């Protein structure tokens, strides 16, 4: 899951201190990815924004066929707006996102990099995807209303 945060450094520190998550990698000026130890490159993270919100929930599936079947299933009930198929740069996972009725995204994901206990995080100046169609213009727009 990635959430919008108005202070990604403070979010990183909070989830590290309280839940024991560890920094995986950061995209300079963009998302911060956290892991829960050896295994998936990231399980949680933060997207810079003016106020809190949900960016996306990710659903790990077994392979590219399951990603395509998920996208096809969502399209069959009217949810065609999305981004994919592509392969992310950090984590290297295949992805296909579908926008939910509230403007957040559902990600079908497969083939993520596994990290070890000795993983060394880095700051990367890189695009979100190695290859993909162009992302929707509102892909990183926080659709949730500001509260208080």
Q: Which residues bind Fe ion (CB under 5 A)?
A: 58, 107
Q: Of 59 and 73, which CB lies nearer to Fe ion in the complex structure?
A: 59
* Minimum separation from the CB atom of position 106 to Fe ion (A): 10
Give me the least distance between CB of 97 and Fe ion, in Å please: 8
- 46 - beta bridge partners? 3, 32
Nearer to Fe ion, 124 or 146 (CB): 124
Shortest distance, position 148 Cβ to Fe ion, whole Å: 28
Tokens matching residue 6: 């108005």
Question: Could you tell me the CA-to-CA distances from 11 to 8, 27, 28, 85, 136 in Å, in that order?
Answer: 5, 15, 16, 29, 26
Residue with tokens 């995986």: 24
SS3 78: coil
Residue at shortest CB range from Fe ion? 58
Alpha-carbon distance of 11 to 73, in angstroms, equals: 34
Q: Which is nearer to Fe ion, 136 or 145 (CB)?
A: 136
68/110 with CB nearer Fe ion:
110
């Amino acid at each position: 899951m990635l959430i919008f945060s108005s202070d990604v450094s403070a979010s990183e520190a909070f989830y590290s201190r309280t839940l024991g998550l560890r920094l995986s990698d950061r995209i300079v000026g963009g998302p911060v990815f956290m892991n829960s130890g050896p295994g998936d490159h990231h399980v949680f993270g933060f997207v810079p924004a003016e106020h809190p919100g949900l960016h996306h929930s990710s659903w790990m599936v077994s392979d590219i066929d399951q990603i395509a079947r998920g996208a096809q299933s969502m399209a069959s009930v009217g949810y065609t707006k999305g981004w994919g198929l592509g392969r992310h740069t950090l984590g290297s996972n295949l992805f296909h996102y579908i926008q939910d009725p509230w403007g957040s995204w559902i990600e079908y994901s497969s083939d993520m990099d596994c990290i070890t206990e000795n993983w060394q995080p880095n700051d990367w100046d890189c695009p979100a995807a190695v290859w993909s169609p162009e992302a929707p213009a509102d892909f990183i727009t926080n659709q949730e209303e500001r509260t208080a």
